[in-house]
Structure 1
């Protein structure tokens, strides 16, 4: 049954199985928070990033050799799925999905496919956190200080490439990820400056029928941004807290719902589904 508040599922949550998340961020605590908020479902989408990759990956073809200053680590799939079964038994009132957040999936298609072949999941997010330079993958925040506007345009162009050349993900996560690290503060970021580049991303995404995530850890998308997706033919919106600690599960979801509704998307009869136009 839908929650009394009508809140959507949280389709983007991290726990201690992600390399950048504290040991205290357990699935049980995240589920407790989801139940407290009345969310119908939660997806544990751990970071699937690669520091060593398959020779057949595009990253190899492009001459990439490593990630800059990497702390990335593999998912302990056996431990992850064991904990997942524990919380599914403990919280029968909550739909609990398995998942991964694939970083740069267009560069690591063979590696991603190999992981998912051995550990299939319910929800796959596609993310772009890094861009290449001189044979290294750099977190995009490192590149903004050299040329913020140019880096943002390059980032959005790379998203189009990612959408067009990778079909492994169901949801495009945090479309304006670099905004989190904008020089001088997020308030200096002018979304309208990149409207045409956003629209190119949204046209590509809409043509595939996949969902756009409204990420509530990032500075929230404006109604204009989500409406651009709607105007370009976008059909589905997913909500994701991008929580890296249990207290952030479902954060700002009521405000995000207002934004998504104002842009022309609505909840459906199925409380577990994406919101639709």
Structure 2
């Protein structure tokens, strides 16, 4: 008995009929809301930044004060993302691999920076790490201030960025299981070799994703930073604060120009992250395939 080939077999996947109807409606609804919520505000921002001409745009985004804020913003965001990468691995591994009293409470506490208003987080961190705070008092007495400088910004960005790394790594660690690690140990591999050849290749793409998300969040953070940074020009003034300063001065074109630069920076970070993920996935798959072929 010959089986007939459906007429849609040669069509692309997105044009093939689905058991559940509604692709066209769902696609139109998605594009409409993305255009209204994402594309329209971005388009208005770009048009406003370009309204004054190229010369005005360069003058607005390239001043000594702004350059110092760029350096501080991206530098502290990078340092905080690196700290979160190390802490995130430890915390995610502990939550995924171990069972202990209070684990559920600790697991829920990781998401607190997501739910907590950023201004509340900034005030709380200033109370704790400021010169008169619970922790900052001891450091200030020894001549090492934790607040109202770049160190305070790193503390705030580490607080808001940690959940991105933990929540990206945790499901990967839970899915990884312990079978491959136990097999490597039975075959004589040391703990360092098991970590380097079994665990690390599986965690690396997720870690890079969490690192990139924490870095992008740190670049655009505002509320949790301004209360602990001190906001001193050329010392502890972030770029997001200068956008607000321009708005308070009714320089809307200048604010739009600076915001456009930050938008491009965030897009570049996410674009580079996607490229890195695509480059790492084939290498990880090839390494796993070679490991499966080994006796």
TM class by smaller structure? under 0.3
If the length of structure 1 is used for normalisation, what is the TM-score? Answer: 0.23
TM-score by length of 2: 0.22
Which structure has more RCO (C-alpha within 8 Å, separation ≥ 6)?
2
Q: Which has the higher helix share?
A: 2
Which structure: larger Rg? 2
